[in-house]
Amino acid sequence: MRQPWRVAVVGGGIAGLAAAVRLRDRAPAGTEITVYEQSGALGGKLRTGELAGQPVEFGAESFLMRDPTGAESAAVTLARRLGLAEQIVHPTVGQAALVVDGGLRPIPGGTLVGVPGDLDRVTTVARPAADADTDGGRPLVAPDEDVSVGALVRSRFGDEVVDRLVDPMLGGVYAGRADDLSLVTTMPALARTARVEHTLVGAVRAAQAAAPRAPGAPVFGTLAGGLSTLVEAAVTASGATVRRDAAVREVVPTVTGWRLTVGPTRAPERVDVDAVVLAVPARPAARLLSGPAPAAATAVGELDYASVALVTLALPQPRLPELSGFLVPSTEGLLIKASTFFTTKWGHLRRPDGLALVRASVGRYGEEEQLQRPDEDLAATVHRELSAVLGEPLPAPVDGHVQRWGGALPQYTPGHADRVAAARTALRAAHPTLVLAGAGYDGVGIPVCVRSGETAADEIITALGGSAR
C-alpha cells in the first residue's frame, strides 16, 4: 500500500466528520484526509444560527447522553475527545406535553418512545385496549422478522396508544408515521427484547431494564456554544483538508483505489484516493454507487425521506407553561407537529429581558404540499396554532426564522436493516475500501451517526491493511 494513505470523506455532516476524526486518531500518521462537502457549510443537519442576537439551533438541537445499552453515547465521547465535555449542558425543564383534544397534557413517564411498560401510567392521554397483550406462548417477533412499530403496538395496546402517544413521539423524530416505521431501525432495544418476550409490556420492561438510568441522570445534552462548535472542533481535530462547494459526482474504481469526479460538470476535477467514506444520504449514495456497485445502489436507494420546516419565533415576554415543549398527534389536525420552548427548556438560553425563543416543526411525511407555503404564511400559521394550543394570544414576534430541510429525515420501513446489511455485504466483497456511513443506513440521531462514521473509519483502516492504533 502506497504511503501516506489518501482517504476521501464524501459528505461533511456529523457522520463524515466523526469518520475524519477517527481516521486521524487511528490511521497511520501522515494519512491525508480530505472532506468533500457539496454545500458551502459543514455540519449537514447540525447548524447553529442566530436570532434576536442569540445563538439558536436551526437543525438538530440536542443529543442523547446514553446509548441503548446505558453506556455513554458516542456523541458525548466525541465531545470529550474534542475537549468540549465542559460545554455540555442539560435541559433545566425536561417535562414535555402532548396536545390532546386541543389542550396540553403532560407526557406520561415510563414509556419507551411512547410505548408504555405500565399501562396504568398512560391513561391521562390514551386508553389502552383491555387485555389484548396476552401471552400467546411465543415471542412477539420472530428471529429475522421486522414489523412496523404501529402494527405491533396497535395489536397489543390498541389504536389510542399509537395515535396519541407513539405516533407523535416518532413523528417528532422522523416526521413519519408509526404504521410505516421499522421496529428494528427506529426502536432497536425494543426489537431485541420483542424477540424474547411474549408480551409487549414485558418487552418494554426488559428493554428498560437492559439500559438502567441512574435516578436524575440527564437524558439529553447539548453544547452551550451551539452544536456547530462540535462541527468546528471535529474539523480542527481531524486535520482534514476541507473542500466546501465540492459535490462528488462520480466514484470509479481504479487499480489501486478510487477516482472521484468533483465539482461542476463544466470544470470537473479528478482526484485519486486509496479509500472513500461515503457519508451522504441514501439518494446521492445510490447515484454514486450505481456504477461500481449496482446491487448496493438498489438496496440503499429504496429509502425515502420526509421534508420538514423549522419555524423559530422570538416573542417578547409571552406567558409560557413550565414545559420543554409539546408534541402534536396528527389526529389533532394542526400544521405544527412539535414545538420546543428553547428559552424555558435550556437555562443557558434564558434572557434577562424575558424574550422567548419558540421553535415549531412542521411537515409530515406525505404532506409535502404543506411546505409549499411561503415563509410568512408558515410563520403566521405557527403563531396562530401556538396561541390556540396555549389558550391565549401570543404577542407578535419581534423576529423569526424559517429553516427548510428538504428530504432530510429517513423513513425506515420494515426490512431497512436487512437492505443495508445486504448493500454492505456486497460492497465488502467487491470494494472493501468504499464504506457507507450516516443516517441513511444506521439510524437518525447524532450519537448513531457519530458511531456510524467511526465504524466506517475503522473498516477503512482494516481494509487498507492497518490496525487500529
Ligand X SMILES: Cc1cc2nc3c(=O)[nH]c(=O)nc-3n(C[C@H](O)[C@H](O)[C@H](O)COP(=O)(O)OP(=O)(O)OC[C@H]3O[C@@H](n4cnc5c(N)ncnc54)[C@H](O)[C@@H]3O)c2cc1C
Report the nearest approach of ligand X to the CB of residue 230 (Å). 10
DSSP one-letter code for 140: S
- Pairwise CA distance, residues 455 & 347, whole Å: 34
Sign, Cα dihedral of 235, 237, 238, 243: positive
The verdict on 226 binding ligand X (CB under 6 A) reads no
Please select the residue that binds ligand X; options are 5, 8, 9, 12, rule is CB under 6 A.
12
Q: Which residue in the set 8, 9, 15, 336 belongs to the binding site for ligand X (CB under 6 A)?
A: 15
CB 404 → ligand X: shortest distance, Å?
10
Closest to ligand X by CB, 444 vs 464, is 444
Residue 177 region by backbone torsions, left for phi larger than 0, else alpha for psi between -120 and 50, else beta: beta
How many CB atoms within 10 Å of residue 379? Answer: 20
For residues 16 and 176, which CB has a smaller minimum distance to ligand X in the complex?
16
Q: Does 157 bind ligand X (CB under 6 A)?
A: no
- Site mask, ligand X, residues 357-396, x = CB under 6 A? ----------------------------------------
Question: Cβ neighbours of residue 166 under 8 Å, at least 6 residues apart?
Answer: 113, 114, 115, 149, 150, 153, 178
Site string for ligand X, 63-92 (x = CB under 6 A): x-----------------------------
In the complex with ligand X, the residue whose CB is nearer, 15 or 147, is 15
Closest separation between CB of residue 454 and ligand X, Å?
12
Considering only residues 265 to 324 of the shown chain, the ones binding ligand X according to CB under 6 A are 279-281, 284, 308, 310
Q: Of the two residues 161 and 311, which places its CB atom closer to ligand X in the complex?
A: 311
Q: Which is nearer to ligand X, 207 or 262 (CB)?
A: 262
SS3 string, 347-396, reads HHHCCCCCEEEEEEEECCCCCHHHHHCCHHHHHHHHHHHHHHHHCCCCCC
Least distance (Å) between residue 405 CB and ligand X: 4
Q: Are strands 241-243 and 32-36 parallel, antiparallel or unpaired?
A: parallel
116/221 with CB nearer ligand X: 221
- Judged by CB, which is closer to ligand X: 210, or 219? 219
- Per residue, the 3-state secondary structure of 33-81, as one string, reads EEEECCCCCCECCCCEEEECCEEEECCCCCEECECCCCCECHHHHHHHH
Sheet holding 63-64, edge to edge: 63-64, 220-223, 88-89
DSSP letters, 166-187, are IHHHHHHHHSS-TTTSBHHHH-
**Which of the stretches 37-45, 89-97, 127-135, 250-258 binds ligand X when contact is defined by CB under 6 A?**
37-45
> Which of 8, 9, 19, 45 touches ligand X (CB under 6 A)?
45
DSSP string covering 296-327: HHHHHHT-EEEEEEEEEEEEES----SSSEEE
Looking at beta carbons only, is 128 or 438 nearer to ligand X?
A: 438
Near ligand X by CB under 6 A: residue from 7, 8, 9, 16: 16
Judged by CB under 6 A, the chain residues 232 through 261 that form the site for ligand X are 247-248
Instruction: Confirm or reject binding of residue 409 to ligand X (CB under 6 A).
Output: yes
Taking the complex as a whole, the smallest distance from the CB of residue 229 to ligand X amounts, in Å, to 15
**Within 10 Å of residue 29's Cβ, how many Cβ atoms?**
7
Q: Name the segment binding ligand X (CB under 6 A); options: 42-50, 155-163, 320-328, 374-382.
A: 42-50
For 188-256, the three-class secondary structure string (H helix, E strand, C coil) is HHHHHHHCCCCCHHHHHHHHHHHCCCCCCCCCEEEECCCCHHHHHHHHHHHCCEEECCCCEEEEEECCC
CB of 29 to ligand X, least distance (A): 26
Among 122, 203, 371, 449, binds ligand X (CB under 6 A): 449
Residues 6+ apart with CB under 8 A from 110: 116, 117, 118, 121, 208
Closest CB 341 distance from ligand X, rounded Å: 14
| Inter-residue contact 257 to 247 (CB < 8 Å) | no
Residue 273, phi then psi, degrees to nearest 5: -135, 170
Q: Which is nearer to ligand X, 37 or 332 (CB)?
A: 37
* Residue ranges that bind ligand X, judged by CB under 6 A: 10-16, 36-39, 44-46, 59-63, 247-248, 279-281, 284, 308, 310, 405, 408-409, 438-439, 444-446, 449
